[in-house]
Amino acid sequence: MPDNKNIYEVKNLKNFPKSAIIIPAILIFLIVGMKSMIVTIDSGEIGVPILFGKVQEYTLSEGINVIIPFIKVVKFPTRVQQYTMSSAFAEGKVRGDDSITIKTKNGLNVGIDMTIWYYIDKAKAFSIYREIAKNYGEIEPKILRPSTRTILRDVAVNFTVQDLYTEKREEFTSIITSQLKAIMAGKHLLLDRVLIRKIILPKSVEEAISIKMQTKQRSEEMEYKKQIATKEAEIREIEAIGLSKAQGIINSTLTPNYIQFKAIEVYKQLVNSKNTTFIVMPTSSKGSGIPLILNADTKNSSK
């Protein structure tokens, strides 16, 4: 015998209005649909729309963007990015020694630490997704890293170790920058700057260069001391010439009569002194010249 309670519930369910179910369902669908139609692109990013796996040939700029439902948006950074390959353990994108080993013109293996600054071509962001990388994380290992290491090794064979420590280092960096810029432009990436941060030499070469630099420094110090000594000698010579000229002028003006006249002026001053006894004696056969003056205490003189 059927349960009267269950029969009653079924009858009430049949009488329940369908609109009470359909309307909330429609509202939920609209809310979810509207939410999927709005996407926010942060500052310093650009969005690439993908519809059912097909890349749309336009981009979404920063801010709120309204899109059609079912579109997937992949974001790429538009700010300048930095990629470092370094021998220091935690300095670059790859942990451990990630320096680039090159062979120079004179056959020596040299390590290079370098940093690259770059950014994507915003107008071609959809082409980057379609042709190169499905996200930003794939750009550096697929394009930047292998291209840079290959160019460095190709260019290095035209330079010696000594070139990398002289004015030719700028030429070396300039060639690398030019070639890398061309390759990256073909991949819709824009190069900002290349920096050769460190050159790691073999120990024997580093020691030889250190000795050479020390020898050069000592040579420069000796040259500097030589210049100082030369200048000092010139100064002493000039002073001697000046002194000789001064003595010549004095000798030409100091006649015996002039000297005796000056001595008489001194005698006049000594006459007024109570404690001075002096004796004037001629110092030449003619009775002229500089007198001999003896100063003595009056009391001792009386004794």
Residues 192, 87 share a domain: yes
Dihedrals phi, psi of 272, to nearest 5 degrees: -80, -5
Rounded Cα–Cα distance for residues 196 and 165 (Å): 12
Where do runs of H (alpha helix) occur along the chain?
A: 4-15, 19-36, 125-131, 139, 145-156, 168-186, 203-253, 256-271, 298-302
Residue 292 forms part of a structural domain: yes
Listed residues 26, 56, 76: the one ending a domain = 76
Q: Are residues 267 and 240 in the same domain?
A: no
- 172 falls within a domain: yes
Domain boundary among 76, 109, 128: 76
The whole-angstrom distance between residue 82's C-alpha and the CA centroid of its chain comes to 16
pLDDT in 10s for each residue of the chain, 303 residues? 455 545 444 445 455 555 556 666 666 655 555 566 788 889 999 999 998 889 998 889 888 888 887 888 999 999 999 999 998 887 878 888 888 888 988 888 889 999 999 999 998 999 999 998 888 889 999 999 999 999 999 999 999 888 887 778 899 999 999 999 999 999 999 999 999 988 887 776 666 666 777 777 778 788 888 888 888 888 888 888 887 777 777 777 666 666 667 767 766 776 666 665 555 555 555 555 555 555 545 444 444
What are the residues facing 116 on neighbouring strands?
A: 83, 194
Same domain, 150 and 196: yes
Angstrom distance (rounded) from CA 282 to CA 288 = 5
Report the SS3 class of residue 123: helix
For residues 127 and 185, state if they share a domain: yes
Residue 120 lies in a domain: yes
Cα–Cα distance, 274 to 111 (Å, whole number): 95
Does residue 297 lie within any of the structural domains?
yes
Per the structure, the count of domains in the chain is 4
What is the span of the domain harbouring residue 54? 15-76
